[in-house]
Amino acid sequence: MINVILQVAQVLGGDNSDIGMILQTLFSLSFIIYLFYAQRIQAMTMLRQVEVTLRKVKTIKDEGRRVSIEMVKEVGKPERDPTPDVDRFLEQFVISPVSMDPAGIMGKLDQLINVSDYTNEAEVKAIAPQATEAEAHNIENLLGAAHALNYYYKAIRHFYLLGKKTMNVYIIMQIHMILPLIIKEIEATSSAIQAFRNGMPIGDGVGPLVVSKLMRGHELIDVARETVAAWVPYEGRTLILLKAKGPGGSVGKPGAGVAKILGDDKKEKKIKAVIMIDAAGKLEGEPVGEIAEGFGAAIGGIGVEKYKIEEAVKARDIPMYAIAIKQDISHVIAPMVEELHKATDTALESVKRIVTERTQEGDHVLVAGIGNTMGIAQ
Amino acid sequence: MMMTEQNTQIPSMSLSWTTLAVIVVIGIFSLFSLWMGFQALSSDRPEQSTYYLLTGTVGFAAIGYMFFRTKAVTTRKPDVPKVDVVTILECPACELKRVRDFKRGDYIHKDDEPCTRCEGNMVITGIHRRAEPEKKPKQ
Ligand SMILES: [Zn+2]
């Protein structure tokens, strides 16, 4: 091998000095080393980038845990140290039901979510006995964010350590490829810590905020768990406004709420349309707070609530209009930006326009504001 | 405890001093190579200078790349973002509007402090992040 290089160098260099020879040999040698070890070098470079992210995530998830414990101590005033309880919560998991035979999976998921919701609520009450209802909900949200950060950290660490152990470029690539997206999600979750700690309205709260503007001052009726509705007259119509009950952080059960309201109306058939307002992910390049109108059930999540709404609306065969307020993933659980706050007024105008243009006087219209109502009362 | 266990599980991979040594070695090598290149250029064998100059330039390019990379790593401080949030209060009676810093316990539609102009109570009508001055888009 070296002979070959020397020959090549000789051909290239002609009758030059010894130093020139050495330089050229080194040059060729480094080229050949790179030829064989390029992948390893690449793997190390990628691993280093993963490591940097891992450190960053560790700082953020430790902060999430610290703030959670601090908040539980501060507002909950527990008799014993809540640290083990918080740590236990951070390791909590939910096993999703088998989906090979998907019939009836919605019922299973619904039951599973209800059990975890009720259990977590009871646990938060137990570790933070002095917290108000709103504060307890905010603690639940904060613990949820800390849980997500802990999970991200563990997932990245898993790939990092596995990659380091095997030095397999394909294992490292799996995590490296999606690193920018993961970083974005982690940054989004980390900005939730401040919002959840203080009970500030978040980007996801645009739906409830729009509805709350119409709802204020009217009599409220509990229609489902943590979900309230109000019957409000508007331009000869009756708007049935539905949102999660604030100002504690909660998304409520809009599916159950819509199903109940539509079910109660089964005989009279007064409700002629459903309008849903929700935050929607914007594409890169779209402005924050842009309003888009469309059709269908505007609601995210794992799909249980969406399923319930679709079923209830299908049973009645009435149109379902959607208003989306566009925002970036980094806005969804961060303190609400001004653009989104302004966009709620525009969205309110859209609601009013849809009501006057697409329904008749005397009709009832169900308007549901979907999202987390933290920091937004009614 | 669990958390301290996790600490020890991240092996450190800090290469800063080795990187520095490599940079110094490559630097000397490249400088020497460049010097040889210029020597050859002014001597009777100008055709050889190409190789020397190429080697030297590649060396400096490598140094530049390494320096850029380590800098990018060290200057990105991992921190948890904190933003300024403001509360907007409006008096429903006299339409006085006031903006103040967010306080814990504030929420939209809350009857808050008494109005400074009339008898009524001010209501919180908005809570949002304080508009930040235009930032340069990060890549
Ligand atoms: Zn006033």
The CATH code of the domain that includes A324 is 3.40.50
**Interface contacts (A, B; CB < 8 Å):** 120
Please give the model's pTM, rounded to 2 decimal places: 0.81
Question: What number is the average pLDDT over the span B123-128?
Answer: 93
Say yes or no: B135 contacts chain A, CB-CB below 8 A. no
- Within the 154-173 window of chain A, which residues sit less than 8 Å (CB to CB) from chain B? 157, 161, 164
In angstroms, the CA A191 to CA A297 distance is: 28
Q: Residue A38: inside a domain, yes or no?
A: no
- Classify residue A74: in a domain, yes or no: yes
Q: Are residues A237 and A355 in the same domain?
A: yes
pLDDT in tens, chain A (378 residues): 566 555 655 555 554 566 667 777 887 888 888 888 888 888 888 998 899 899 989 999 999 999 999 999 999 999 889 999 999 999 999 999 998 998 999 999 999 999 999 999 999 999 999 999 999 999 999 999 999 999 999 999 999 999 999 989 999 999 999 999 998 888 888 889 999 999 999 999 999 999 999 998 899 999 999 999 999 999 999 999 999 998 999 999 999 999 999 999 989 999 999 999 999 999 999 999 999 999 999 998 889 999 999 999 999 999 999 999 999 999 999 999 999 999 999 999 999 999 999 999 999 999 999 999 999 998
**Domain annotation covers residue A170:** yes
List residues bridging with B89 in a β-sheet.
B98, B124
Number of domains in chain A: 2
CA separation, residue A207 to residues A5, A50, A323, A340, A378 (Å)? 70, 37, 9, 10, 12
- Let me know whether A248 and A295 are in one domain: yes
Residue B2: pLDDT band with limits 50, 70, 90: very low
Residue A180 and residue A63 share a domain: yes
Residue A68 placed within a domain = yes
Domain range for A177 is 49-198
Same domain, A131 and A186: yes
In eight-state DSSP terms, residue A359 is: S
A35 within domain boundaries: no
Count H helices, E strands: chain B? 3, 4
B45 to chain A, any CB pair closer than 8 A? The answer is: yes
Q: Please state, as a whole number, how many other Cβ atoms lie within 10 Å of the Cβ of residue B97.
A: 12
Q: Scan residues 7-36 of A and list those with Cβ closer than 8 Å to B.
A: 12-14, 16, 19-20, 23-24, 26-27
**Final residue of a structural domain among A198, A226, A244:** A198
Position B13 pLDDT exceeds 70: no
CB contact at 8 A, A279 and A373 = no
Are A222 and A304 part of one and the same domain?
yes
DSSP-H helix ranges across A72-104: 83-90
Q: How far apart are CA A5 and CA A11, in angstroms?
A: 10
Does residue A252 share a domain with residue A180? no
Looking at the fold, whether A188 and A273 belong to one and the same domain comes out as: no
Query: A320 with A345, same domain?
Result: yes
Identity of the residue in A13, A59, A201 whose CB atom sits nearest the CB atom of B51: A13
Computed over its alpha carbons, how large is the radius of gyration of chain A?
28
SS (H, E, C) A137-201: HHHHHHHHHHHHHHHHHHHHHHHHHHHHHHCCHHHHHHHHHCHHHHHHHHHHHHHHHHHHHHCCC
Chain B CA closest to residue A51: B13
Measured distance CA(A329)–CA(A189) in Å, rounded:
9
Residues A347 and A209 in one domain: yes
- What's chain B's Rg over C-alpha atoms? 31
Residues 6+ apart with CB under 8 A from A332: A188, A202, A203, A204, A279, A281
What phi and psi values does residue A226 have, to the nearest 5 degrees?
55, 30
Nearest-Cα distance to chain B for A59, in Å, is: 7
Does the residue A32 lie in any domain? no
ipTM of the complex: 0.82
The residue with tokens 């429903």 is B92
- A213 and A189, same domain (yes or no): no
**The last residue of a domain, from among A198, A225, A254:** A198
Residue B75 has pLDDT above 50, yes or no: no
- Is there a domain that residue A249 lies in? yes
- Domain B85-129 indexed as CATH 3.60.70: no
Q: Which of A145, A173, A198 is the last residue of a domain?
A: A198
Is B107's CB within 8 Å of A58's CB? no
